[in-house]
Amino acid sequence: MGNNPPSRLRFNFGFLLEASLGTSRTYELNYPTIRVAPDVTLAPLQGELIATRTSEGVYVSGKLNSRVSAECVRCLETADIPIAIQVDELFYYPPHAAPPGEMTFDGDTGFIDLAPLVRDLSLLDMPINPICRPGCQGLCMECGQNLNEGDCGCIADDIDPRLAALRQFLE
């Protein structure tokens, strides 16, 4: 485990292994800020998770809402992007019964760390091209001025440089 502190999204679901099928427990999450991985910090992380004992293991479901910081693709300013994380995962128990590549539950410790799952789901919910606001004007293609802060004064030249020689016919 190294020197890393335990994740704040590590929950003890061991009691569910002894419970009857269908037993569930609801967990309310309300973190002002949480670092789920070195590359992902969510602020805030709010929502509800339900852990249910099934014949195959522990099923965790729920919806989490958060915001993540990203760089706007138009103006390169930092933007807070809202994300909705839909958790829908079965942790197989016993682990040898799991199909290849599926999540497993170690009944010896009784803990499941949801941080890697939340990290993956949050990255999947982020837009490919995040923008800071719908009306973002971006950067000037000539001087690089952020057009959201004001006009740069560059003269717009709409003629393709390959056709510049034909400009004399317009004059």
How many whole angstroms separate alpha carbon 139 and alpha carbon 152?
9
How many whole angstroms separate alpha carbon 118 and alpha carbon 86?
9
Measured torsion, CA atoms of residues 54, 60, 61, 63, in degrees rounded to the nearest 10: 170
Residue 4: predicted pLDDT = 65
Q: Please, how many CA atoms are within 13 Å of residue 76, restricted to the half-sphere of its CB?
A: 6
Helix, coil or strand: residue 147: coil
β-bridge partners, 70: 79
Residue 103: predicted pLDDT = 84
Q: How far apart are the two ends of the chain, measured CA to CA in Å? A: 74
Residue 157: predicted pLDDT = 67
Residue 35: predicted pLDDT = 92
Residue 1: predicted pLDDT = 45
Among residues 50, 81, 53, 80, the alpha carbon closest in space to that of 63 is found at 50
Instruction: List the chain pLDDT tens, one digit each, 171 residues.
Output: 455 677 889 898 888 888 899 999 999 999 999 999 888 899 999 999 999 999 988 999 999 999 999 999 999 999 999 999 999 999 988 877 788 888 887 767 888 899 999 999 999 999 999 999 999 999 988 888 898 898 888 877 667 777 777 777 766
Residue 101: predicted pLDDT = 84
The model's pTM: 0.79
Largest Cα span, the chain? 87
Angle at 93 between CA 91 and CA 95, to 5 degrees: 95
